[in-house]
């Protein structure tokens, strides 16, 4: 079965360190998204990609970057982790055909100390 997986599931890191969260999907979807979930804010879009070599900033992109070198993977990098980036991060993918839902990974709980 096709799936979307995130790793690690839990991560503790120190302020100032670079951190990369992995996202891998086997749906062969062109669209991939990264969200962060915080209490009272729902899911906010960080970065997204519509295909290989394409990346776009979402509403909360400061301090984050992504790269898309193949269809399956969209890693999210925190350049210099800050305590404000402590959150739960979700990766999602969707078909570029309208009317279809996005599929989500299990989430990564990141704590910056």
Partner 1 sequence: AQKITQTQPGMFVQEKEAVTLDCTYDTSDPSYGLFWYKQPSSGEMIFLIYQGSYDQQNATEGRYSLNFQKARKSANLVISASQLGDSAMYFCAMREGHGNTDKLIFGTGTRLQVFP
| List of residues contacting partner 1 (CB under 8 A) | 30-31, 33, 35, 40-45, 48, 50-51, 58, 88, 90, 92, 94, 96-104, 106-107
- Spatial neighbors of 92 by CB under 8 A, at least 6 apart, are 4, 32, 33, 34, 35, 102, 103, 104, 105
Q: Which is nearer to partner 1, 63 or 107 (CB)?
A: 107
Q: Which is nearer to partner 1, 14 or 98 (CB)?
A: 98
Q: Taking phi first (over 0 means left), then psi (-120 to 50 degrees means alpha), and beta for anything else, what does residue 61 get? A: alpha
Considering beta carbons, is residue 58 or 75 the nearer one to partner 1? 58
State in angstroms the smallest separation of the CB of 8 from partner 1.
14
């Amino acid at each position: 079965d096709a799936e979307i997986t995130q790793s690690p599931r839990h991560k503790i890191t120190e302020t100032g360190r670079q951190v990369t969260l992995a996202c891998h999907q086997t749906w062969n979807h062109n669209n991939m998204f990264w969200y962060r979930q915080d209490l009272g804010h729902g899911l906010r879009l960080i970065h997204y990609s519509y295909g290989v070599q394409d990346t776009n900033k979402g509403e909360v992109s400061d301090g984050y970057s992504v790269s898309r070198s193949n269809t399956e993977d969209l890693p999210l990098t925190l350049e210099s982790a800050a305590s404000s980036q402590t959150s739960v991060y979700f990766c999602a993918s969707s078909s570029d055909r309208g009317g279809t839902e996005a599929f989500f990974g299990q989430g990564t709980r990141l704590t910056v100390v």
